[in-house]
Amino acid sequence: MTTRRNAARPFLIAPSILSADFARLGEEVRAVVAAGADIIHFDVMDNHYVPNLTIGPLVCAAIRPHVTVPIDVHLMVSPVDRIVADFAKAGANIISFHPEASGHIDRTISLIREHGCKPGLVFNPGTPLSCLDYALPQLDLVLIMSVNPGFGGQQFIPYTLDKIRDVRKRIDAIGREVMLEVDGGVKVDNIGAIAAAGADTFVAGSAIFGAGDYAKTITAMRAELSKAVTQ
Ligand code: DX5
Ligand code: ZN
């Protein structure tokens, strides 16, 4: 069952495999999709742009045959451009990057689209939204970080709700479909407030993979989302 934000756009649950068991990744992505996930969120960290090192295109290609849902690649790498083609070839559907990590934002967005993927731009908690002034019409997704990037299991930063409201207004003003995703510290007990602020796509790592029963958590999240729309 897909909960809807409004008539046009569904709410999407995007489990981050950062908190999955990496020794059993194929099994983990199949299990989370069977439990109701809409998207797989794939966190790429380079020990340079962020102080952690995770997974790359080879792992993306390895999980691709296990699921039919979109793979949402969150690049926390600098530089960005060289790795875009590799992820497109590995089966990514959405590729998002941080403006601080790209020398030329418009060029990187075009490159992602030329490779057949949807481009997204990611804003750290302290990063202003000003580059959306011109970039928003070129994007398919805006990702608001609600923690500082680099690690799973951190606390949601409350002031990012204001940023989500700001981005929602900007998206509604251009009248074009752009996904508004939130990443970091998303749990059953705050997902309703995040939806009410205007988000439609919810990344959750530790809240889903850290709990034993993935379906129970995803169902509880959808119940909170249903309440958020009817309020
Ligand atoms: C953090 C990553 C997140 C992370 C979220 O840099 O981008 O996707 O996995 O983890 P939780 O949901 O545990 O905060
Ligand atoms: Zn992420």
Q: Could you give all domains of the chain from N- to C-terminal order, each with its CATH number?
A: 12-230 (3.20.20.70)
Distance, CA of 28 to CA of 21 (rounded, Å): 7
- What element of type H or E holds 43? strand 40-45
Ligand 1: which of 151, 157, 214 to mutate, judged by most atoms within 8 Å of the beta carbon?
151
Q: What is the pLDDT of residue 229?
A: 75
Active-site annotation holds for 200: no
Q: Whose CA is nearest to atom 9 of ligand 1?
A: 152
- DSSP secondary structure of 170-226: HHHHHTS--EEEEESS--TTTHHHHHHTT--EEEESHHHHTSS-HHHHHHHHHHHHH
Neighbours of 199 (CB within 10 A): 32
pLDDT in tens, 13-50: 999 999 999 999 999 999 999 999 999 999 999 999 99
Q: What is the pLDDT of residue 203?
A: 99
pLDDT in tens, 191-220: 999 999 999 999 999 999 999 899 999 999
pLDDT in tens, 92-144: 999 999 999 999 999 999 999 999 999 999 999 999 999 999 999 999 999 99
Sheet holding 118-123, edge to edge: 12-15, 201-204, 179-183, 141-145, 118-123, 94-97, 71-76, 40-45
User: Ligand 2 centre from 133 Cα, in Å?
Assistant: 23
Residue 228: which pLDDT band, with cuts at 50, 70 and 90?
confident
User: Ligand 1 centre from 154 Cα, in Å?
Assistant: 8
Q: What is the pLDDT of residue 2?
A: 52
Is the confidence at residue 230, as pLDDT, over 70? no
Do 121 and 142 contact (CB within 8 A), yes or no?
Answer: yes
As a whole-number percent, the residues of the chain with pLDDT over 70 amount to 95
Which residues form ligand 1's pocket by a CB distance below 6 Å? 16, 18-19, 41, 43, 74, 147, 149-154, 183-186, 203-207
- What element of type H or E holds 6? none
User: Ligand 2 centre from 207 Cα, in Å?
Assistant: 13
More confident residue, 1 or 118: 118
Active-site annotation holds for 43: yes
Q: What is the pLDDT of residue 47?
A: 98
Is the confidence at residue 1, as pLDDT, over 50? no
